[in-house]
Amino acid sequence: MPEVPHVRPRRLRQPAFRRLNAEIRLHPAELVLPLFVQEDAESPTPIISMPGVMRHSLDSLKETVQVAAAAGIGGVMLFGVPTAKDAVGSGATDPDGILNVAIRAVVGEVGDALAVQTDLCLDEFTDHGHCGVLDDRGRVDNDTTLARYCEMAIAQAASGSHLLGLSGMMDGQVAAVRAALDADGFADTALLGYAAKYASAFYGPFREAVDSSLTGDRRSYQLEVGNRREGLREVLLDIAEGADIVMVKPAMGFLDVLADAAAVSDVPVWAYQVSGEYSMIEAAAANGWIDRRRAIEESVVSIRRAGADAVLSYWALELASWLQEN
């Protein structure tokens, strides 16, 4: 009998082979850059808990999306920060509200060179900071909120958004918004369902970024962090309701849910590397505890490895520049 060859996986880890045998490669087109735009701002202002990230003025927003298009990233996700809020988030459906104005400005700058995506949620626009309209007992009213989402969807689509990010986690939101868009002549406007969005501690810096008015928490509509099967159930529901893309959020703490979704989904699956993930790495790197560039690259590769077809990341532009260098 011939001797069995000695197995040495390390042969393919030599310098000449590492790049050739990489299973996951990052590409700028797989990256989406979240951007915040503040109403009436004359210049960008730093977000203290997210070093390097800004609340943009309209002028700096337009400059940034031009850079993003030149870098070859896949898209941008816009969040509006209004100067005034009320109980039903009126600014979200005002054609002259900051988010709808920003959509028109960005589409005017980059056209189809980027997928212009917009957050479809009321939390930035409500004085109570919740993602929906409250009932007389102070609870988020699911179906009343759906009506507001439909109005918001029409406003965003009319302003030119290519992809609406339904991030509010209301039951039936994808089906309701899809029906409203189709009925109003916006059949080509795509929907990103934030299908498995967990009630995570890692959203903290985002609250500063959008000047959130939230008191309490969002546990009545966002998922319990320990629930894996429920995350997959929500993904399947959004697909059945007509989502063009589904999302898992946050990313790194929920790679198992992401992998579950990628294994069964017949539509693209994305993940959002949220503000707390960003700030955690930036803080550790600022203290010299980790190699910043390697940690950033590894974090995004891990999300892609788990099954994400695209990643929303605040490092999208920086990553794209490194990929172009390589």
Query: Is 197 designated active site?
Result: yes
- Choosing from 56, 178, 218, 249, the catalytic residue is 249
Query: Is 249 designated active site?
Result: yes
Closest CA to 123 of 222, 202, 50: 222
Distance in angstroms (rounded) separating the CA atoms of residues 65 and 115: 11
Instruction: Note whether 55 and 37 are within 8 A (CB).
Output: yes
129 token code pair: 């900071």
In the block, residue with structure tokens 């390589």: 326
- Choosing from 85, 148, 162, 197, the catalytic residue is 197
Tell me how many helices (H) and strands (E) the chain has: 11, 10
82 token code pair: 């209004």
**Ordered alpha helix ranges (H), the chain:** 15-18, 58-71, 98-110, 142-159, 173-183, 204-209, 228-241, 255-264, 275-286, 292-306, 316-325
The DSSP code for 133 is -
Question: Mind telling me the catalytic residues?
Answer: 197, 249
